[in-house]
Structure 1
Amino acid sequence: MGRKLQSRERLRPIDLARGHGLSTQAVRNYEEAGILPAADRTPHGYRTYAPLHARALRTFLALVPGHGHRTATSIMRAVNRGETDEAFRLIDESHAQLLDDRRTLRAVEDALRDLASTPDPGPGAVAPGSGGMFVGDLAGRLGIRPATLRKWERAGLLRPRRDPLTGYRVYDEADVRDARMAHQLRRGGYLLEQIAPLIAQVRSAGGLEPLEAALRNWRDRVSARGRAMLAGAAELEAYLHERG
């Protein structure tokens, strides 16, 4: 353990808990989970903490908003075991995921621009060879299973027509566009029940405003997570320095 664990200043579990709006049981749970270094014990068996424990708790709570509870826990465990390279690897993975989320958001925004600029081909059966796609072709283009497209259809995200000769589903240009939007929004963490009304609104005379609002919310969440990662990094650097 770090040199600060030897500080003469003693803190009780309730001292740590009160400073962070937690229960004393939560503090004990964090110690047992490896988020905090092991506490010293009095001759009567009571836990006593040092300022380093308070720093560890602040660090963990600062890491959670950016990395999530599970990853923040793993980061703290690695640091407390002296495995800083493992902690840095976990942080890198979170940053990579955030970058992927940003790329997905940009892809959805690009798709939204496509929606605004691509005319709806209108109703009517689309025969093979005239621009329509069968379910396997569309699934292959998106890198998903045909069963996923059928699930999206049942959820109201897609409205493929049936080929009059074969009865197969045929996806016209608007269907392909909607499927691409659904795929990107799913990657962004949206549930089917959240996506369906957005696509329905896009199809209707209501316009694109609902989807634009969803994207603004998504963009705000991505930005907030990025800032939270910066705050967590500052606390982690202070904790590493204090551990020595």
Structure 2
Amino acid sequence: MGQNLQNSERLRPIDLARGHGLSTQAIRNYEEAGILPAAGRTPHGYRTYTSLHAGALRAFLALVPGHGHRTATSIMRAVNQGATEEAFRLIDESHAQLLDDRRTLQAVESALRDLEPATAPGPGGGSEPAAVSGPGGTFIGPLAAQLGIRPATLRKWERAGLVRPRRDSRTGYRVYDEADVRDARLAHQLRRGGYLLEQIAPLIAQVRAAGGLEPLETALRDWRGRLSARGRAMLTGAAELEAYLRERG
């Protein structure tokens, strides 16, 4: 009777593959990658799997959406090698990355909320005029004063691609239009949040591509949704992995 029970628990590669829309080659690849424990073999050399392999496959497929294919593979490989602490470390790293991504999103949203409509400073002293023709046009000195930074900082941001002022054809002075002032204010908020210039540059580029801050709200909502989906997927993956760990004993 025990032999019959053992035989009834045997699964073929196609049995594992069919329930998840996979190919039998994918099942073999997962085994070779260490995602699944080593298969048993029949006297004729055919692979046989059990409910333990089915649990490993469910755990892996549940881990992928939250952790990515590479990390999910490393987690399963560690578990199957008995290195559960390494598996937990990998999971912790994924959660830490998700938290860091959430903090980045929060910093960006905070920076956008803190942006006030830019207005050109009024006329003042100095070697440069305070404003030029065109809405929102201003020069480096007044803009630096408005932000509470040095003109040298604005020049540094220009070299990093964060602002792109044009040059006045008559005087050669840098002229910051409304979009430049917006980008400078956004860069200033993110720098205050501790972000590096190389981290800020891609965001500024996205603001420009979106045509301003308002269209960027859609991208931020999508970003927030993806982070939430990752967090939920991590919960699902954790449940399946826990079930697999219990079955392994």
* Shorter-chain TM-score range: 0.7 to 0.9
Q: Deviation per CA, 1:105-141: give whole Å up to 9, x if none.
A: 11111011023x24244213223895363368755xx
> In structure 1, which of residues 123, 127, 130 is the aligned counterpart of residue 141 of structure 2?
127
Partner of residue 103, structure 1 = 103
Q: Deviation per CA, 1:32-72: give whole Å up to 9, x if none.
A: 00000000111211111011000000000000000000100
Partner of residue 11, structure 2 = 11
Partner of residue 212, structure 2 = 201
Distance 1:176 1:129 in 2: 9
**Helix, strand or coil at the partner of 2:82:** coil
Q: Write the mapping of 1:33-44 to structure 2, written as runs, cut at 5 A.
A: 33-44=33-44
Q: Write the mapping of 1:46-125 to structure 2, written as runs, cut at 5 A.
A: 46-115=46-115, 117-121=116-120, 122-125=136-139
Amino acid in structure 2 at the alignment position of 1:109: E
Partner of residue 236, structure 1 = 241
Give yes or no for contact 1:17–1:24 (8 Å, CA) kept in 2: yes
Q: Deviation per CA, 1:173-213: give whole Å up to 9, x if none.
A: 533224368997x859x788644322x323xxxxx2x1111
Q: Mark the runs of 5 or more structure 2 residues left unpaired by the alignment.
A: 121-135
Distance 1:47 1:113 in 2: 59
Distance 2:204 2:176 in 1: 21
**Helix, strand or coil at the partner of 2:138:** coil
Partner of residue 124, structure 2 = none
Q: Which structure has the larger Rg over C-alpha atoms? A: 2
Distance 1:97 1:221 in 2: 13
Distance 1:192 1:48 in 2: 55
Distance 1:71 1:27 in 2: 18
Distance 1:128 1:134 in 2: 13
**Helix, strand or coil at the partner of 2:151:** coil
Q: Mark the runs of 5 or more structure 1 residues left unpaired by the alignment.
A: 1-5, 140-145, 153-157, 203-207
Distance 1:129 1:182 in 2: 17
| Equivalent residues, number | 216
Give yes or no for contact 1:160–1:175 (8 Å, CA) kept in 2: no
Give yes or no for contact 2:36–2:80 (8 Å, CA) kept in 1: yes
Give yes or no for contact 1:40–1:47 (8 Å, CA) kept in 2: yes
**Helix, strand or coil at the partner of 2:184:** helix
